């Protein structure tokens, strides 16, 4: 069973993602604050991290940098409302493997998740 960590502060998005990830047979962990998400990323050894950029306590860019600084190779998918080209480039340059903007297609989300397994 694949373990997926969702670091997102919007409860409705978390619920939506949980439903579809569980349909894929995944175990789902969540965090609504950046600092807690970072600790779970380090301690829980997820197979995929889904990471919002705009989070309380620590933003997703900083989380991604800290994860990569620890040489953790877990795939990171940024899932964020920040859709400007510079935001996408920054996310990928700091170590994200994928970048999906909100609003997003659930079908595309599922296909991207499957692509990381």
φ/ψ of 100, rounded to 5, equals: -125, 130
The mean pLDDT value for 12-36 works out to 97
In angstroms, the CA 25 to CA 88 distance is: 29
Under the banding of pLDDT at 50, 70 and 90, the label for residue 82 is confident
Count of CA atoms in the C-beta half-sphere (13 A) of 5:
26
Q: What is the pLDDT of residue 83?
A: 82
Q: What pTM does this model have?
A: 0.95
The mean pLDDT value for 66-94 works out to 93
Contacts of 58 (CB under 8 A, 6+ apart): 33, 34, 35, 37, 38
Give 31-71 pLDDT, tens digit per residue: 999 999 999 999 999 999 999 999 999 999 999 999 999 99
In angstroms, the CA 33 to CA 91 distance is: 18
């Amino acid at each position: 069973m694949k373990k997926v960590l969702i670091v997102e502060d919007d409860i409705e998005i978390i619920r939506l993602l949980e439903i579809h990830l569980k349909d894929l047979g995944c175990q789902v962990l969540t965090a609504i604050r950046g600092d807690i998400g970072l600790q779970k990323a380090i301690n829980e050894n997820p197979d995929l991290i889904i990471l919002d950029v705009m989070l309380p306590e620590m933003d997703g860019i900083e989380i991604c940098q800290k994860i990569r600084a620890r040489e953790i190779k877990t795939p990171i998918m940024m899932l964020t409302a920040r859709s400007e080209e510079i935001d996408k480039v920054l996310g990928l340059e700091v170590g994200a493997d994928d970048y999906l903007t909100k609003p997003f297609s659930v079908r595309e989300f599922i296909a991207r998740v499957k692509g990381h397994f």
